[in-house]
């Protein structure tokens, strides 16, 4: 029996921006009822490929075929007419509009200029029923959690009878349970014959949900293999080399205390948080969503206020809620959401690298533009940032290279303590290792790192000590050597009670004590 005809094929497509070729003779096939995973490092061309699939970009060479027939897709409307829909990593929803209105956005049924509310609700419910999402049609979509918003996006795509669904990093902001819910929907769509392209940096997700994997490297097609292919082989195809150690931590004897946090409290977010970090050390912060890790890091960085407790850097107390003072004293902060909080997307690479040092390197209130450019050039080369020029808008860089720019800002500022919040989120395996090497550079040079991560293998592999938080409190501390995911998770799910953090054996654990924890009310940490 011959293979079915692909519903969508990119046959040897190429795309150039000026003199730079970002996609070079790439071929991708999507089949009905199959999930094709698209894998590659940041900057490999994945985003450009999917934008050619959905009509945002047009190829400069090669062909696009729909149902085996050569087709031109000049815009997204034409893509929709062919049944192609895309779920982007940044959700494309109107938060103040209702669920039903979002599902039918751009296709609102009307008569004589008036919205047909009954028909709108009927069609929206029909699309939501296809993916098994039971939600109030009149509820503002912005009040839903990220996972449900993602499912509303899928329903929105199915409302146009999408038979080809492109999922771009759909799990990046989801918890484990939410990912499971999304994968259940993907399985249902697969059973109904929907062809899907799935982009993810998580190889275990690709193995679970994918049928085949198309691998790109440096904008070129490397190969198409089964999703059951060994991870080491996929990594080799993706980066062009073997990565012997995915967590290349350089461990050494810790030096003097650089950062001391004592009794930090912000009601409703975290309470009585205390810890120290020494020179040459990485302190990993683990915990479930909502444990308060992000909130603590933001308070230390001066981004948010707190009611009680102290933060000391090299024995000197830092003033509360003063970002400029924290930066001047040697604290660098890589936030959880690099695009919203870590970068000025409209600014150039040079500008983003230099924001933390504009004042300290200026003269008489004027920026040292020549010096800033020289330093930006040195740091971008040292961190191996892939860019066309320092004048390139930072929004045009891949996610991994954007993250390197945020890191580079603090390297350029010679920060002694780096606060890293989900430093490798949305970053491929090769770029992750490069970021880990940057962490090693900081600690090798006598700095210290506090690293918040939701990936337990990363916490275990790159930390010297692990601080576990639960419900806004410190549940316990473990030496990384000998720690296991089970022991970390046991602490993470524990209720911090007076005088007791966990009922586990106390070997290797420093427990917390104090009052009942305050439930955090900020976003997930």
Residue 370, CA distances (Å) to 248, 359, 366, 373, 414 in order: 36, 14, 12, 5, 19
Instruction: Determine the Cα–Cα distance for residues 219 and 284; give it in Å rounded to an integer.
Output: 35
DSSP structural state of residue 357:
G
Phi, psi of 262 (to 5 degrees): -135, 115
Instruction: Determine the Cα–Cα distance for residues 157 and 76; give it in Å rounded to an integer.
Output: 12
**Chain center to CA of 278:** 28
pLDDT tens for 93-149 read 899 999 999 998 877 777 777 778 888 899 899 888 877 788 899 999 988 877 788
Q: Are strands 465-470 and 448-452 parallel, antiparallel or unpaired?
A: unpaired
The first and second tokens of residue 23, run together, are 């996609």
Nearest residue to 236 via CA among 39, 42, 401 = 39
Instruction: Determine the Cα–Cα distance for residues 43 and 218; give it in Å rounded to an integer.
Output: 7
**Chain center to CA of 409:** 19
pLDDT average per 10 residues of sequence, the chain (525 residues): 81 89 94 95 86 94 95 92 85 89 83 81 88 87 83 83 88 75 88 93 90 93 94 86 75 92 95 96 90 94 95 95 93 89 92 85 75 89 86 87 90 92 82 88 94 91 95 93 89 59 34 34 38
Could you please report the per-residue DSSP string of 210-277?
-SEEEEEETTEEEEEEETTS-HHHHHHHHHSS--S-SS--------SEEEEEEEEEETTTEEEEEEEE
Q: Give the chain's radius of gyration (CA, Å).
A: 24
Task: Say which residue the tokens 């998580």 belong to.
Answer: 202
Q: For residues 62, 64, 67 and 72, what is the CA-based torsion angle, rounded to 10 degrees?
A: -130
Instruction: Determine the Cα–Cα distance for residues 3 and 238; give it in Å rounded to an integer.
Output: 26
Q: For residues 222, 228, 229 and 232, what is the CA-based torsion angle, rounded to 10 degrees?
A: 110
pLDDT at 246: 79
pLDDT at 517: 35
**Chain center to CA of 34:** 25
User: Are the CB atoms for 492 and 288 separated by under 8 Å?
Assistant: yes
Q: Are strands 114-115 and 110-111 parallel, antiparallel or unpaired?
A: antiparallel
Helix, strand, coil fractions of the chain, as percent rounded to 5: 35, 25, 40
pLDDT at 509: 35
CATH number for the domain whose boundaries are 256-495 = 3.40.50.300
Contacts of residue 379, defined as CB under 8 A and 6 or more positions apart, other chains included, come to 353, 408, 411, 412
Residue 449, CA distances (Å) to 278, 316, 407, 418, 469 in order: 9, 18, 12, 5, 17
The first and second tokens of residue 246, run together, are 């995915």
Instruction: Determine the Cα–Cα distance for residues 381 and 375; give it in Å rounded to an integer.
Output: 10
Residue intervals of the chain classified under CATH 3.40.50.300 are 8-240, 256-495
Residue 388, CA distances (Å) to 381, 397, 399, 407, 483 in order: 12, 9, 15, 19, 43
Instruction: Determine the Cα–Cα distance for residues 30 and 37; give it in Å rounded to an integer.
Output: 10
Helix (H, G, I), strand (E, B) or coil at 223: strand
User: Are the CB atoms for 294 and 336 separated by under 8 Å?
Assistant: yes
Bridge partners for 29 per DSSP: 9
Q: For domain 8-240, give its CATH number from 3.30.930.10, 3.40.50.2300, 3.40.50.300, 3.40.50.1820.
A: 3.40.50.300
Instruction: Determine the Cα–Cα distance for residues 87 and 50; give it in Å rounded to an integer.
Output: 10
Alpha helices in 20-64 (DSSP H): 46-53
Entry pTM: 0.68
User: Are the CB atoms for 428 and 42 separated by under 8 Å?
Assistant: yes
Contacts of residue 491, defined as CB under 8 A and 6 or more positions apart, other chains included, come to 286, 468, 470, 475, 476, 478, 501, 502, 504, 509
User: Are the CB atoms for 337 and 172 separated by under 8 Å?
Assistant: no
Instruction: Determine the Cα–Cα distance for residues 204 and 514; give it in Å rounded to an integer.
Output: 39
User: Are the CB atoms for 423 and 229 separated by under 8 Å?
Assistant: no
pLDDT at 522: 39
């Amino acid at each position: 029996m011959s293979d079915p005809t692909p519903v969508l094929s990119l046959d040897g497509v190429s795309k150039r921006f000026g003199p730079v070729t970002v996609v070079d003779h790439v071929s991708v096939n999507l089949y009905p009822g199959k999930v094709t995973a698209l894998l590659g490092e940041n900057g490999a061309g994945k985003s450009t490929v999917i934008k050619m699939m959905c009509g945002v970009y047009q190829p400069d060479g090669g062909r696009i075929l729909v149902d085996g027939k050569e087709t031109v897709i000049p815009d997204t409307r034409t893509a929709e007419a062919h049944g192609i829909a895309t779920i982007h990593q940044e959700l494309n929803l109107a938060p103040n509009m209702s669920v039903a209105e979002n599902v039918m956005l751009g296709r609102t049924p009307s008569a004589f200029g008036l919205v047909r509310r009954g028909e709108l609700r009927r069609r929206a419910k029909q699309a939501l029923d296809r993916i098994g999402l039971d939600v109030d049609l009149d509820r503002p979509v912005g009040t839903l959690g990220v996972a449900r918003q993602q499912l509303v996006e899928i329903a929105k795509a199915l409302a146009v009878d999408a038979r080809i669904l492109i999922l771009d990093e759909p799990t990046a902001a989801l918890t484990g349970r939410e990912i499971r819910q999304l994968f259940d929907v993907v399985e249902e769509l697969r059973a109904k014959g929907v062809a899907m392209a799935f982009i993810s940096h998580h190889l275990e997700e690709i193995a679970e949900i994918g049928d085949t994997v198309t691998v790109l490297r440096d904008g070129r097609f490397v190969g198409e293999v089964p999703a059951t292919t060994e991870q080491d082989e996929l990594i080799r195809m993706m980066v062009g080399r073997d990565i012997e150690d995915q967590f290349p931590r350089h461990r050494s004897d810790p030096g003097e205390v650089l950062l001391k946090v004592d009794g930090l409290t912000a009601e409703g977010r975290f309470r009585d948080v205390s810890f120290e970090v020494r020179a040459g050390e990485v302190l990993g912060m683990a915990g479930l969503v909502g444990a308060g890790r992000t909130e603590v890091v933001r308070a230390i960085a001066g981004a948010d206020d707190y009611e009680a407790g102290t933060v000391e850097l090299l024995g000197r107390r830092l003033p509360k809620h003063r970002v400029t003072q924290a930066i001047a004293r040697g604290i660098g902060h890589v936030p959880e959401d690099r695009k919203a909080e870590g970068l000025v997307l409209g600014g150039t690479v040079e500008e983003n690298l230099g924001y933390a040092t504009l004042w300290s390197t200026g003269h008489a209130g004027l920026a040292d533009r020549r010096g800033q450019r020289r330093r930006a050039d040195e740091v971008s080369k040292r961190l191996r940032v892939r860019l066309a020029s320092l004048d390139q808008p930072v929004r045009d860089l891949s996610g991994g290279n954007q993250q390197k720019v945020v890191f580079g800002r603090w390297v350029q500022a010679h920060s002694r303590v780096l606060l890293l919040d989900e430093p490798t989120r949305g970053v491929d395996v090769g770029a992750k290792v490069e970021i880990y090497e940057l962490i090693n550079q900081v600690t090798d040079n006598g700095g210290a790192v506090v690293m918040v991560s939701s990936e337990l293998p990363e916490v275990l592999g790159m930390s010297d000590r692990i601080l576990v938080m639960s419900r806004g409190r410190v549940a316990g501390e473990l030496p990384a050597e000998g720690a296991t995911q089970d022991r970390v998770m046991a602490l993470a799910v524990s209720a911090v009670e007076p005088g007791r953090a966990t009922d586990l054996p106390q070997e290797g654990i420093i427990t917390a004590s104090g009052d009942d924890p305050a439930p955090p009310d900020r976003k997930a940490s």
